[in-house]
Structure 1
């Protein structure tokens, strides 16, 4: 038996095991992302009530089953606002690749080159800048 056949065999085995581990690790990460469902609430009513004592959440104006889907495409956490402007109250964050239930779209403060904002399907009025959300299904205009 030659020296090259002895030394090259373990290297091939190590490389095969490393490649297999890498593939399993990547497919596992993909499954974790794929399992994420739409975010239906930014914060619970209890959390909102604790943050705003004495206030009551806005009544539901839209039926729950009437929403579009969007996916956050920002590089970092995206701020959820109480109105379609960056000067309104901060309600929380949504994260990149997270799916969102969108009720409607409305014109608001311009973010980047985009003046559209999406109202989320939550119990409180919550908005995100459309600049950082890719609509996966068509989004209707908000009705007053």
Structure 2
């Protein structure tokens, strides 16, 4: 297993643990980085889809993930967090979106509205 796929799987597990903690009403613990939120400070960030043909949203942060839906060009999306995974046109960031279903979108095709999302 490559280091990249291992990192992607760990990011998915960490995001799942944070979501489970939120669903249970228990704030997840901060990871301690400069941009790590305080416990209970999890919110969403906003982004705008800039993929002219629409953005494929997937069940994992890779091009091989199953497509869950497509967001149209110009749509505003809610972003929970970001992770590093498979590169898309030179950008290795993927955003976990919270619009209805939890899905991953390549950050290459999402323009931040406001500050950049926190790490998963």
TM-score (norm 1): 0.53
Distance in 2 between residues matched to 1:77 and 1:111, nearest whole Å = 15
Match of 1:101 in 2: 78
Q: CA separation in 1, counterparts of 2:95 and 2:74?
A: 16
Q: Aligned pairs, how many? A: 84
CA distance in 1, matches of 2:17, 2:85: 22
Look up the SS of the partner of 2:51 in the other structure: coil
Tell me how large the CA RMSD over aligned residues is. Answer: 2.2
1:118 maps onto 2:98 in alignment: no
Aligned equivalent of 1:66: 43
Ranges in structure 1 where 5+ consecutive residues have no aligned partner: 1-57
Mapped to 2, the partners of 1:100 and 1:123 lie a distance apart of: 10
- d(CA) in 1 for partners of 2:79, 2:108: 14
Could you say which structure has the higher strand fraction? Answer: 2
Q: TM-score, normalised by structure 2?
A: 0.63
Gapped runs of 5+ residues in structure 2? 1-15, 24-41
Higher RCO (CA < 8 A, seq sep 6+): 2
Secondary structure of the structure 2 residue equivalent to 1:101? strand
Structure with bigger helix share is: 1
